Every structure is written in structure tokens, then in C-alpha cells.
Structure 1
């Protein structure tokens, strides 16, 4: 049996104002072709299908057209879980209709962990795969807030809640397998941040819970699981050096920090001996549908690289970071002149020489653009001379508000 594992599509995401629907459409077309070429039996999508909880019409059109095409392919099953960017209610709304296409959606917890255990059957009606489809676990789903609890208490409760939920669902799956056949593989799907996971600057990965409290240890996952299909981190990677515990990564670079990173999906194959033999995992490289490039340096280094790209007939989108000592006040005009009549497009220009000059004059150490929301809050604490004994409490309140905003489901009614 062949299974494809992918995640973090973020359909609808823009890059410095540029819409990327052509890239998303090209990826989904390629994915259908790959499913047919590899004769895939099941497709697992581990969260963050959309970039926002209120996807636009074009994003929805791409999603539903893709599912319709999958239903007509060799793929017998599709399993989708919600990520932290998705609206659980939006994803779940057509779930009964999608079941007719063998598309199984888990948007949120139902109150019964058994609902997250899916038994998938082959064309003869025989069970062939068990999937623990665990969506992104929101803070309010797994922890009861108590007055006066410390950050350490919150962290402990979050980790315990996540661990307990995964253990309960996986145990349910084991019971189901024992009643059917020990040869049936069990795959666990999840959307969360495992401690030690690799991220890249500008990749759009945001904290799931309060601060970084719920970077869960890899030890919450049983060592004997047949395969763990995770979403949330955009860099393809193994968890705890295990070849069968993986983040598939995002199919498209979410920002210029990911420019040049090789993207892939995971092809997982089980032989007929079932789960007694570890899954064979192979990465399938995703083509680059829209090249991105970050160019840094002085004017000569930047212009030389641009001229090389022009000579190669590149159609890349560029981020230019000027770091030279020469003060260039007309940098945007000079750059536009350089790429004139080419297929290159500059989406962002950052003139560090001008920034340094302004900061030297104002005495400030950062610009708002360069700061994360957490750093802005820390600057506010310092600027208003908040006493140290009050800062911890204010940080906690701020982080809880930010988490609540990130987790709000705009589709829930």
C-alpha cells in the first residue's frame, strides 16, 4: 500500500502583495500527476490547507477541484486534518458530503477520541489502514484555565493534555487493529510543534500556544508506531532522527528565507507483511513553480547577480537587501532600471545603509518592520518603564490574548 504525506499548503497566501494562485494550481496539478504515476492508495494532508480561517473563493475553488480530481484517480482515500491556520468549522462543514468521495475530514475534537480513528477499506471492503486523524489541538480543547496558575503550570498542563489525547486516540486504534488484523498499519496524523524542530526565518510558522510552551517532546509518540505524519513546520525533516516520524514540510516556499530550499512530499509504502516491517519512506522532490531569490551585498554584488539571472533568462521574484557602505538614495529606481526588459520582478527592497543612517540619527536600535510582535511588546515594556515585578504578569496576559486571537475561528457560529 502506498501513502502520500503532505501538509502546510497555505492556499491563498500572498508574498509582499503578490497573489500566488498560479503556483498553488501548478502544485495541485503536479500532485494529481504524482498520485497517478505512483499509483498512490491514500493521501494524508496534515493541516494548514488554507492560509487563513476565511479563505477566498479562488482558494476554495482550487481545494474542491483538487478533491474532485483525486476522487477520479487511483487514490482510494484522502484524510485531512485541520491546522492552526485553518477554520475547523469551515473544513468540517462539507465532511458528510466529502465522505461520499472517500475524503475524511477531522476539523476539531468531537468529544469522543474514537471519532479520530479512521478504518480505511480496500475495494473488496477489507480493512487495509487505520489512521489516527488528530487535528491541531487548541489550548481551550485540552486545558482548563485556573486563576493564579503559573507559566510552569500552564506548560505542564498543555504538554500533559496533548500527550494524554494522543495516547488515548492511539490506544483506540490499537484496540481496533487487535479486533481486525495485527498486519494493518497504524498511521498517526498531527499538527503541532515538536521540540527541536527546525524552522527558517520568515517561513510564516507561528507559535501554536502561549509563547513556546507547547513545543512537545518527541517522547509523547510511541516508538513502535508505523508512521507519524506531521504538519506545521515548513522544513522537511525527521522527528527524533526517526525515518518514520516526519514533517513533510510546505510544498511552496512561504518566504524568501526558504528560497532555494528543496521541497518534497513523503511517499510511504507498506509491504504485504503489514506493520511487522517498518514502512519504506521515499521523498519525492516538488518542482519549483516560481523561483524566489534573496540577493544581499553591496551594489556590485547585487548588480552582478542580477545580470547573471538576466543572462539565464530567469523569471525569479527577488528580495534585495543592500548592505554596502555607499549611500544610495535612489536604490529602487536604480534596481528597476537594472531589471528593465527582463522577466525578473523585485518584490522587496531593504536598504540597510539608509536604515543605519536613520537609526544613528534617532538613536533607535530597530525598525518596526524588523521586529516580531513579541519584540515590539518587550520594547513597550521598556519604553514605559514597567516595574520588573509587573512584567511577568503582563507578558502572560499579552501571550494569552495573542493566542486567543490566533485560535479564533472566524467561521464558527
Structure 2
């Protein structure tokens, strides 16, 4: 059986004031093309389908269009679980009805986790769909004794699966969380704050033929038969060096497993550019990728962000290299002691807004303070 394993779509994600919906839809069109080529028996989405519990109408539309093409046109069953970013209830809406069409959703945690059995020429493959589990959710179903850790919560939620699974046949577990034996470098701040509180050890679940995990955005193996597929796109500056892909899994006879990956083209890359302002601005053609710029200049550059957007229209953020921050801060403090209040206000306004202050606003500040702001040439405005 051939399976495409994905996770962490985060549909509707905003980054640096930019909507990534067009990028996500572009990727999903590429995923559909890959599905036409590979003709998988199933597609897995292991949590964090949306970026927010209440997704926008546009985000819902992107997912709806993809699922319609994948299920109705390509006839590929989709198995989808809720992650920590998803609303369990909203993702579960219509799940029983949709299951008959080939969309299998596990949104809410259940005392009897969803089981989906698909057939190939070798027989059945049983998929167990386990949404994101935290102690509060586990305690609502299994209150005695109360779970205090993510490990206890996960074990309680997974125990009904282990109790009924026939491990002489092929079984796949779909789950979402932070699991042991996973390198934590490259994990975004959001992942650390949500998933770093407790790790879950999956070694006792090694009898599953494959465990399809979501939550960590860096693709990696947890064990030889357990894997994070990673996110479909780069979703933070910390992820600029990731190489997103989808995982291609092939289950042969019981105990025979093949794991590979396939790249899908993207609309924009996300990268960090470091250097002095003049050097970064020296390029001839505009760079349309998403950019976080780190300036190595020893002095603050006036209107740096606005000026950089002439060459980098999708500039998402700008900062100064830390090694120069102390020097810049010392110079700024010394200079500030010699400045008038309107001049300090002007500098602050232009630094925050990356645009020149209007003469009308500056005049109002001068009127309030009774002071004037010198021009950059040393005159008086």
C-alpha cells in the first residue's frame, strides 16, 4: 500500500503581515499533481490542518477545494486528525457523513478512537486516527486516575487502540505531539511553547507498522518505523534552513516498510539575508521571496525597511546584527541626550513606521513641547 504522509499545513497562516494562503494553495496544487503521478492509496494529514481554531472563510475554501479534487476527482481517501492549532469540534463537523465519501476525520478525542481499514492486493491496512492529546482532554474521558503529564495522557488515549489492534496484520497510527528521540533544533517558538512541556515516548508502540506523526516542522525519523513528515512550508524565520517535502510510505507484506520523500515546488522561499544595507541593495533585480533582513551596519539606517522593499517587496522583517546592537545603542544614548523632545519623537516615529514624519505632526509636537526639531542639516524646522 502506498501512502503519502503530510502534516502541519497551517492553512490560513499569517507571517510578517503577509497571508500565506496563495503559497499554500500553490503547494497543494503541486501535491495534487504528485498524487496523480504516484496514485497513492491514502493521504494522511497528521494534525495542524489550520493555523487557527477559527479559520477564515478563505482558509476553509482552500482546504475544501483541495479535498474535493483529491477525493472526488482522484479517488484518494484522506485521513485527517486535529492538531493543537485546530478546533477539535469545528474540524469534526460532518465527519461521519464525510467518511462515506472518503474523508476520515478525527477531531475530538474519543474513548473509542476512529479506525479506518483500507484494502490493497495484500489485504487490510488498519489506520488508527488519534488527535492531539493533552492532559485536560484525556482527563475529560479518563478521569480516574487523572493524567498529569502528556505521556500519561497519550497512553490513556492510545490504550483502546492497543487493546483492539491485531498486530498480526498491518497497522498505522496517526498522531500529533512532541515525541522522544527527536532532535529539537530548528523547532519554532510556537512548537517549543506548546510541545516542549512534556515529551511522549513511543517505544511501547513499536509494534505498529508505521507511525505518522505531526507537530515538529523539521522532517525526521523518530524511529525506523516512526516519522515526522514536517510542515509543507517554512513558517517562521527559525525554519529558513528547512527543506519541506512530503513523505512517501510503502507498506508491503507484514514487516516490510519503505520510506522516502518527494519535494514539491513552492511559490516563494523564505530566507534570512545578512549584510550591510548598501550591499543588500546592490542587486539589480528585485527578489520576490519572503525575506527577513539582518543588517550588519554599525549605524541605524533611516527608513531601512521602506527602502529595502524596493528590492525586496516581500520583506517580512528587519533587524540589526546583535554584535552591533551594543555599539549602536551606546551611540544612540549619547546622541539622545543632546536632542530635543520633538527630535526624539521624530526619530522614534520614523524608526517604528519606516517612513518620514509629516510636517504637520512634527509641528504639533513642537507646539506641545515648546521646543523645535533641527533638520538633519543642522537648521531649524
* TM-score where L is the length of structure 2: 0.77
Q: Report which structure shows greater RCO (CA 8 Å, sep ≥6).
A: 1
Q: Superposition pairs for residues 77-92 of structure 1, below 5 Å? A: 77-92=77-92
Per the alignment, residue 31 of structure 1 pairs with 31
In 2, distance between residues paired with 1:344 and 1:275? 52
**Distance change (3 Å), C-alpha of 1:203 and 1:251:** farther
**Distance change (3 Å), C-alpha of 1:276 and 1:295:** closer
User: Which residue, out of 200, 225, 238, partners 1:216?
Assistant: 200
**Distance change (3 Å), C-alpha of 1:127 and 1:103:** farther
In 1, distance between residues paired with 2:8 and 2:87? 14
Aligned residues: 326
Q: Superposition pairs for residues 76-155 of structure 1, below 5 Å? A: 76-112=76-112, 115-121=113-119, 128-143=124-139
CA contact 1:43–1:75 (8 Å) conserved in 2: no
Of 352-361 and 87-96, deviating more is: 352-361
Per the alignment, residue 8 of structure 2 pairs with 8
1:262 lines up with 2:243 in the alignment: yes
Q: Superposition pairs for residues 8-407 of structure 1, below 5 Å? A: 8-112=8-112, 115-121=113-119, 128-143=124-139, 157-174=149-166, 182=168, 184-195=169-180, 196-200=182-186, 202=188, 204-208=190-194, 212-219=196-203, 221-239=204-222, 242-271=223-252, 274-277=253-256, 279-303=257-281, 307=283, 310-311=284-285, 314-336=287-309, 339=311, 344-352=313-321, 353=324, 357-358=328-329, 361=333
SS in 1 for 2:126: strand
Instruction: Give the Å deviation of 1:109.
Output: 1.6
**Distance change (3 Å), C-alpha of 1:346 and 1:213:** closer
SS in 1 for 2:66: helix
Answer 1 or 2: which has greater helix percent: 1
In 2, distance between residues paired with 1:225 and 1:208? 26
Of 30-39 and 322-331, deviating more is: 322-331
CA contact 2:149–2:198 (8 Å) conserved in 1: no
CA contact 1:107–1:135 (8 Å) conserved in 2: yes
SS in 2 for 1:52: coil
SS in 1 for 2:191: coil
In 2, distance between residues paired with 1:299 and 1:33? 41
Q: CA offsets, 1:81-116, max 9 Å, x none?
A: 00000001001112122112111101012223xx33
In 1, distance between residues paired with 2:188 and 2:205? 32
**Distance change (3 Å), C-alpha of 1:121 and 1:76:** farther
Instruction: Structure 2 unaligned segments of length 5 or more: list them.
Output: 335-381
Bigger Rg over Cα? 2
In 2, distance between residues paired with 1:355 and 1:108? 50
- Aligned-residue CA RMSD (Å): 2.8
In 1, distance between residues paired with 2:224 and 2:279? 40
Instruction: Give the Å deviation of 1:344.
Output: 4.2
Instruction: Give the Å deviation of 1:244.
Output: 2.0
CA contact 1:142–1:158 (8 Å) conserved in 2: no
CA contact 1:83–1:136 (8 Å) conserved in 2: yes
Instruction: Structure 1 unaligned segments of length 5 or more: list them.
Output: 145-152, 363-413
SS in 2 for 1:276: coil
**Distance change (3 Å), C-alpha of 1:19 and 1:157:** closer
Per the alignment, residue 380 of structure 1 pairs with none
